[in-house]
Structure 1
Amino acid sequence: MSGNRPSDSRHRGSQNRNRAKASRASSPGAGIKDQAKNTDDGKPGLAARKAAARLLATVTESGASLDGLLDPTGGNPAFTGLGPQDRLLVRAILLSALRHLRVIDAFIDELVTSPLPEGAKALRQLLRVGATQILFLDVPDRAAVDLAVSLADSDPRNRRFAGLVNALLRRIGREKESRLPELLATTPPFPDWFVSRIQDAYPEHTDPILRMLAAPPAIDLTVKSDPDGWAERLGGIVLPTGTVRIARPQGPVTAFEGFEEGAWWVQDAAASIPAQLFSTLEGREIVDLCAAPGGKTAQLAHGGARVTACDQSANRLERLKANLARLGLDVATQLTRAQDLIAPEGFDGVLVDAPCSSTGTVRRHPDIPYTKGPDDIVRLARVQRALLDHAAGLVRPGGELVFSNCSLDPLEGEMMVEGFLADHPAWEIKPVEAGRWPGLETAITDMGEIRTHPAMLAHEDPAQAGLDGFYAVILTRR
């Protein structure tokens, strides 16, 4: 990734210092104070740091999903056993660490006089957790250092490195203003394989995409009606999709006005596009083949369609039902794999929001570059193709098939659909009408598909900019 640095070094230093401060201010842990209660070993906050280091290792070394580890009920016991404030802190540490892991590692490696001992993985995770707090979160440097040293002392693997931990983290605190801006400007934030895929697919937009993927996202809401009114009430703006965006939410979304009465639901602006591609919804029979957690299902039902929502996970289907109950929307549900659904009479419309690598959602799920890889993209593209082949057989004559996913990789989007059309000459792309998407014209491909990426929707306030990477296309029979 090129640095694109100004030639004047003084201007560059000022610009990068501002960027570093903004990065810390906009991180999900900004404003989170260290309010931990006493732990079982008597040191406030130590259990939270221990959990953060353990879970970071589970993600980066074992490829575990962060969402699964942080699930409030079924997550890792190291997380679920903590109190509410400690959980918030652990979540903030992990999200910030994963968004900036390469930068954090580069900072650590610059300061050590010799490489960390081979196999000292636990030490590396401990240092990452401490550095994340110092560089990107609203935790006092002294507290971050003190707890990191205590954590080292409590672990037989790291006890002999307690002095190193103390010296290294203190130095990071002293030198963050001078070193961090340059590292942010020149160090790709994610693993090489991920950066290479972005470079290959988006050579003209690589740097802004990577910068946006490393920034915390805003909260986007799909509202049932009156987006302008809800934007005013909630302190947001209205996007070209009709989405209400709240850049700096105060408190949990469950406390927002309109939540209890089901006036809106959380859904990224890009994720709201596929359900809007059907030419009409009122009175049509539409099946959502991979429906949970139900944002697109809700759009279809609210638009007047008679919806059948399918999912192969009983837990996810129950979550969908709960979400739709809050919204006051009624749909039929089926617990089934999408490729096993049999419907001889077919449907007027079929939505396949297919399982994918989710590389377009790295802003929200920064563990993805560490839990997925190129082989997963190839494998998932095959799964998507099988789903698309089956879905084509569920569409009535004159009906529409909308395929979408939240991957940035063309192998899971444009190239996969190209292969489908080559093997199914009776099908064609129904081009998206640019007039329906003012402000998103650049997201419409030459073939009439939708392709969004995180560097779209520029805004003078960086917190209001960007959206998830998504691919969507309308397919019909000739």
Structure 2
Amino acid sequence: MTKSSANSRAAAVRLLIRVLQKQQPLEDALDPVLQGFPARDRALTRAITSTTLRHLGVIDALIDKMLDRPLPEKAQEIRHILRIGITQILYLNIPSHAAVHDTVALVPDRSKHKGLVNALLRRIDRQGEKLLAKIDIPRVNTPAWLWESWVRHYGDETARLIAKAHLTEASLDISVKTDPGKWEAELNSELLPTGTLRRATITTLNELPGYDDGEWWVQDAAAALPAKLLGDISGKLIIDLCAAPGGKTAQLAAAGAKVIALDRSKNRLKRLTENMERLRLPVIVDVGDAESFVPDQQPDGILLDAPCSSTGTLRRHPDVAYLKSQADVEKLSGLQARLLDNSAQMLKTGGLLVYSVCSLQPEEGEAQVAAFLERNPLFVREAIKAEEIGGAGDLINSEGDLRSLPFHLGGMDGFYAARLRKISTSSA
């Protein structure tokens, strides 16, 4: 085993400990664990860890099926070692002999589990595909709290399609300031009907044409849709609430709006400011709490991309399934309601409020907006038309709101968005 492979595999185990035992988001754990790692080792470690999390339900089912008795609670690190070994054998293009040898070497020589790890990984090498064929992969790979919610709201067939889509890593989606047709060829990408450019392969961003010149930014195809729902905003005052890291802010500014980007986090706003400087887009940045923020001038429109459970982003962030719970959904739903109510107060009469979340949970989407409309009689829903989103009518639900699912358009984030108009008392 080379030092490089040992470091990458050992680091993957440390990352799993941080995510699954210490409840730390993978993105937050990467830099502390991988500090000083060469780019190649960082990439391997990240691939092993994220792929393990993406298939964790199935991997654990395989481990439990092969064990005569459960591993003791104090042997969690052994389970993590088994997890990354199975990932390498079944899901990554790593030769099995190297995956087995280098993973077993992570088990201390004095451990009574060394032989067990070796035996189980060799069995996976021999029988893994046969064992997989006996597993209901979409169901087993989805935590119960998510599966039950999706089946109740979407039905079993759609829940299965959602879970299946989460097994595939997301492509690189790009939003451009102008002329997507030109950049389709420049970036070796596909132009989606909604206007997003999609690259099948992910690469170092600053190596792609136009990045340093500020011509484009990375943004999932679904995340690019809510800003479009404000319509023609040239010259209008738009407040982007909870704005960081700034993908939607960039869309609004590129469309000619006067944009106030508000976020409560100075660190996140620092990143937004850096992004706007690279893109050469003028934006007013303000630190503040969107629950209580009062603007100097009532805006023509508000984009509220609210904090949420992020269950629509599992293709890119598979750790979310194990970091969040139904309790988080309920807590965040309360925050979303307060943000909506303050948005209603600050918006000018006749203005538009677009509410969005990257969540698949109805409590944060459909039910949230239904409750808002009940308690805010001065707002009415303005149904979205297919032509506003490139003719993608499948992304519009029966209420006229946006509801994208992870299997739509060849893969996109699960998103919900509603467009709400503030009317005058006389027209209510």
**Which TM-score band (shorter chain)?**
over 0.9
Q: Which moved more, 1:361-370 or 1:80-89?
A: 80-89
Question: Does 1:240 find its partner at 2:193?
Answer: yes
Question: Does 1:95 find its partner at 2:47?
Answer: no
What's the offset of the Cα at 1:182?
4.3
Normalising by structure 1, report the TM-score. Answer: 0.85
What's the offset of the Cα at 1:144?
1.6
What's the offset of the Cα at 1:397?
1.7
What's the offset of the Cα at 1:96?
0.3
Partner residue of 1:83? 38
Match for 2:8: what amino acid? Answer: A
Q: Secondary structure at the match of 2:353?
A: strand
Residue of 9, 15, 29 corresponding to 1:49: 9
Kept after mapping to 2: 8 A contact 1:199/1:206:
yes
Residue of 204, 226, 245 corresponding to 2:179: 226
Counterparts of 1:225-304 in structure 2, within 5 Å, are 225-249=178-202, 251-304=203-256
What's the offset of the Cα at 1:344?
4.4
Partner residue of 1:472? 417
Structure-2 change in CA distance of 1:348 and 1:226 (3 Å): same
Aligned-residue Cα RMSD (Å) equals: 1.7
Pairs aligned (count) = 422
Structure-2 change in CA distance of 1:132 and 1:330 (3 Å): same
Q: Which moved more, 1:293-302 or 1:240-249?
A: 240-249
Question: Does 1:117 find its partner at 2:72?
Answer: yes
Question: Does 1:173 find its partner at 2:125?
Answer: yes
Aligned mates of 1:268, 1:344 — CA distance in 2: 32
Aligned mates of 2:266, 2:66 — CA distance in 1: 50
What's the offset of the Cα at 1:356?
0.2
Structure-2 change in CA distance of 1:184 and 1:143 (3 Å): farther
Q: Secondary structure at the match of 2:85?
A: helix
Provide, for residues 99-144 of structure 1, a one-character-per-residue CA deviation record: whole Å limited to 9, x for no partner. Answer: 1011111222222333323442111111001111111112221222
Provide, for residues 416-446 of structure 1, a one-character-per-residue CA deviation record: whole Å limited to 9, x for no partner. Answer: 1111111111111111122323442122122
Match for 2:272: what amino acid? Answer: L
Match for 2:26: what amino acid? Answer: L
Partner residue of 1:213? 166
Match for 1:47: what amino acid? Answer: N
Identity %: 43
Aligned mates of 2:325, 2:418 — CA distance in 1: 25
Provide, for residues 354-378 of structure 1, a one-character-per-residue CA deviation record: whole Å limited to 9, x for no partner. Answer: 0000000010100001000000000
Provide, for residues 215-258 of structure 1, a one-character-per-residue CA deviation record: whole Å limited to 9, x for no partner. Answer: 10111101122222222232221112100011223x32221111
Structure-2 change in CA distance of 1:184 and 1:148 (3 Å): farther
Unaligned runs of 5+ in 1: 1-35, 39-43, 458-464
Structure-2 change in CA distance of 1:473 and 1:186 (3 Å): closer
Counterparts of 1:237-386 in structure 2, within 5 Å, are 237-249=190-202, 251-386=203-338
Aligned mates of 2:194, 2:148 — CA distance in 1: 30
Partner residue of 2:426? none
Question: Does 1:67 find its partner at 2:27?
Answer: yes
Match for 2:63: what amino acid? Answer: I
Match for 1:318: what amino acid? Answer: K
Question: Does 1:160 find its partner at 2:105?
Answer: no
Partner residue of 1:15? none
Q: Which moved more, 1:304-313 or 1:426-435?
A: 426-435
Match for 2:418: what amino acid? Answer: V
Partner residue of 1:17? none
Aligned mates of 1:271, 1:359 — CA distance in 2: 13
Kept after mapping to 2: 8 A contact 1:188/1:210:
no
Aligned mates of 1:443, 1:302 — CA distance in 2: 24
Kept after mapping to 2: 8 A contact 1:400/1:474:
yes
Q: Which moved more, 1:140-149 or 1:408-417?
A: 140-149
Aligned mates of 2:209, 2:334 — CA distance in 1: 43
What's the offset of the Cα at 1:399?
1.1
Aligned mates of 1:254, 1:182 — CA distance in 2: 44
Q: Secondary structure at the match of 1:277?
A: helix
Question: Does 1:128 find its partner at 2:80?
Answer: no
Structure-2 change in CA distance of 1:280 and 1:190 (3 Å): same
Match for 2:160: what amino acid? Answer: D
Match for 1:253: what amino acid? Answer: L
Aligned mates of 1:427, 1:66 — CA distance in 2: 39
Normalising by structure 2, report the TM-score. Answer: 0.94
Unaligned runs of 5+ in 2: 424-428
Partner residue of 1:7? none
Question: Does 1:455 find its partner at 2:407?
Answer: yes
Structure-2 change in CA distance of 1:343 and 1:118 (3 Å): closer
What's the offset of the Cα at 1:181?
4.3
Provide, for residues 322-361 of structure 1, a one-character-per-residue CA deviation record: whole Å limited to 9, x for no partner. Answer: 1111111110100111123222431111111000000000
Kept after mapping to 1: 8 A contact 2:174/2:198:
yes
Structure-2 change in CA distance of 1:354 and 1:182 (3 Å): same
